[in-house]
């Protein structure tokens, strides 16, 4: 066991801007500590590796009760009324606020972050069922994606790994 | 605080094996720790990274910079950094440079 390297596998199932980051941050930390990393992108999570979507991940303020107006510099603990969040332009606004917050802590945009992970040795795979369902092909993904694989393939390649579902 | 003799010099280390006093570090110690970490010889490329960490640590309270700070500050690519210090460059660089683990997630 001692000579077997620790291995962490992430399943990314969300395509929202905020939900793209947990696997990126933890995966990068794992690589920095010498832990093997595999990331499996499924369902909406495939936006994170889809060439035409990766730079345009968004965050809709509707239904996110933790997102307060304090993030935008409004004093107090005021929420964003869902009705207001539904107004045209609010998703773009919330997205730009979140992008700014992410940049402020020195975290790179998703495309650059994923490239860092690939360069650090992370292995990226897309889920076959989702790829078929959304009518995508391997060519639609960024270069770092190794292959389109089935859930069973994923289980085989992550034997003994710690699996984190996001 | 434990001490350990590295390259003939007694230095203070914490329980994870990181040196705690950057002033006790020297180049011979770096080479000896590198060997312990599986890097048999430190090349100019290694030193470029180590020197950068040593010079930036003053502003980081004795901690090593993060990997992204290293790649941004040295021009060494992520790929190269991982091949110079394989299997865990964040910890390895800090250890060899005689600094604390980097604080910060990127």
Q: Is residue B6 part of a domain?
A: yes
pLDDT digits (tens, 9 = 90+) for A101-147: 889 988 999 999 999 999 999 999 999 999 999 999 999 999 999 99
Cβ contacts from A onto B, under 8 A? 43
ipTM of the complex: 0.88
DSSP A12-28: E---SHHHHHHHHHHHH
Predicted pLDDT of residue A18: 92
* Alpha helix stretches (DSSP H) within chain A: 17-32, 82-85, 90-104, 110-119, 128-134, 151-157
- Return the residue in A3, A32, A33, A119 with the most chain B beta carbons within 10 A, the one to mutate for interface testing: A32
Q: Is residue B101 part of a domain?
A: no
Q: Is residue B102 part of a domain?
A: no
Phi-psi region of A76 (alpha: psi -120 to 50; beta: other; left: phi over 0): left
- Please indicate if any CB of chain A lies within 8 Å of the CB of B17: no
3-state class (DSSP) for residue A6: coil
User: Which chain B residue is nearest to residue A116, measuring alpha carbons?
Assistant: B78
- Return the residue in B90, B93, B95 with the most chain A beta carbons within 10 A, the one to mutate for interface testing: B90
Domain that holds residue B69: 2-96
State how far residue B52 is from chain A, nearest Cα, in angstroms: 18
Neighbour count for residue A143 (Cβ, 10 Å): 11
Predicted pLDDT of residue A43: 96
Domain ranges of chain A: 7-165
Written out in words, the top-level CATH class of the domain with range A7-165 is alpha beta
Q: Is residue B106 part of a domain?
A: no
Contact assessment for residue A146 and residue A124, using Cβ atoms and an 8 Å cutoff: yes
State how far residue A32 is from chain B, nearest Cα, in angstroms: 4
Give the count of domains, chain B: 1
How far is A88 from A25, CA to CA, in rounded Å?
31
Of A28, A33, A119, the CB nearest to B79: A119
- Residues of chain A under the 70 pLDDT cut: 1-3
pLDDT digits (tens, 9 = 90+) for B43-71: 999 999 999 999 988 778 888 999 999 99
Beta-bridge partner residues of A45: none
State how far residue A99 is from chain B, nearest Cα, in angstroms: 16
Chain A partners of B89 at a C-beta cutoff of 8 Å?
32
Chain B partners of A32 at a C-beta cutoff of 8 Å?
67, 88-91
Predicted pLDDT of residue A78: 85
CA A157 to chain centre: 20
């Amino acid at each position: 066991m001692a000579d077997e390297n620790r291995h962490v596998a992430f399943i990314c199932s969300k395509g929202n801007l905020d939900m793209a980051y947990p696997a990126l941050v933890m995966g990068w930390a794992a690589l920095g500590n010498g832990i093997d990393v595999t990331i499996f992108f499924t369902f909406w999570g495939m936006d994170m590796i889809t060439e035409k979507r990766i730079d345009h991940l968004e965050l809709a303020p509707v239904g996110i009760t933790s997102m307060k107006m304090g993030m935008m510099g409004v004093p107090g603990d005021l929420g964003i009324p869902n009705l207001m969040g539904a107004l045209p332009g609010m998703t773009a606004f919330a997205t730009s606020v979140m992008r700014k917050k992410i940049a402020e802590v020195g975290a790179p945009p998703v495309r650059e972050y994923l490239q860092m992970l690939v360069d650090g040795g992370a292995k990226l795979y897309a889920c076959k069922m989702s790829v078929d369902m959304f009518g995508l092909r391997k060519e639609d993904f960024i270069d770092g994606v190794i292959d389109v694989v089935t859930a069973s393939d994923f289980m085989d390649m992550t034997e003994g790994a710690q699996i984190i579902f996001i | 605080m434990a001490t350990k003799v590295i390259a003939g010099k007694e230095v203070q280390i914490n329980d994870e094996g990181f040196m705690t006093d950057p002033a006790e570090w020297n180049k011979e110690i770096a080479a000896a720790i590198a060997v312990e970490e599986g890097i048999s010889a430190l090349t100019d490329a290694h030193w470029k990274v180590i020197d950068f960490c040593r010079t930036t640590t003053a502003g980081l309270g004795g901690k090593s910079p993060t990997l992204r700070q290293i790649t941004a500050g040295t021009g060494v690519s992520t790929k190269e950094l991982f091949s110079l210090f394989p299997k865990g460059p964040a910890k390895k660089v800090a250890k060899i440079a005689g600094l604390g683990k980097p604080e910060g997630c990127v």
